[in-house]
Amino acid sequence: MDELKKYTEGTIVEKKITLPEKQAIRADIPNFADKLIEIADEERKFSYCPYSKFSVGAALLCMDGSVYTGCNVETAAFIGICAEKNALFKAVSEGKRGFLAIAVSGGAYEQPPKACTPCGSCRQALTEFVDPEEFAVIIRNEAGEIKSFTLSELLPYSFGPSNLM
């Protein structure tokens, strides 16, 4: 197993952000927004979107400071995966469960990014693993300003694990 680990380290989780003490992390997310958007912009370049021509990149910040990335991938059968779910599912498949924020960069293929929030399906998937009142969704608008929303602002009255109790 250690042999396999040396091949996957640096490819799946090649980015990491140094975080302050756990209790101060939420307050400091604006300090990481630029870096997360930069990572999402880079990931957007890997998007496979020959049908929609709309490329999206995402950077998911975990509690331990690791960052998982994802891009949208489309198929001719119109089955694909969004960038946000791609990043989330990578992280979950690696055993991560604590998430602080996600940055999303999207727009017409090979064009500057526009304001792009997660779709409803991605918002619902994120709700499964985060506290919607605390989790930050970070985007950059057309003017270049970075904006941050809580997931609950984008998906009020969501249905999540707590509804099953």
pTM higher than the cut 0.85: no
Which of the residues 14, 38, 42, 84 is marked catalytic?
Answer: 84
Q: How far is CA 84 from CA 120, 143, 165, in A?
A: 11, 23, 27
Per-residue pLDDT of 54-86, as tens digits, reads: 999 999 999 888 999 999 999 999 999 999 999
pLDDT band at 12 (very low <50, low <70, confident <90, very high): very low
Q: Where are the domains of the chain?
A: 13-154
Residue 153 annotated to the active site: no
- Closest by Cα among 4, 7, 25, 8 to 134: 25
* Residue scoring higher pLDDT (164 or 88): 88
Q: What is the pLDDT of residue 64?
A: 86
Q: What CATH number has the domain spanning 13-154? A: 3.40.140.10
- Statement: residue 51 has pLDDT above 70: yes
Q: How confident is the model at residue 127 (pLDDT cuts 50, 70, 90)?
A: very high
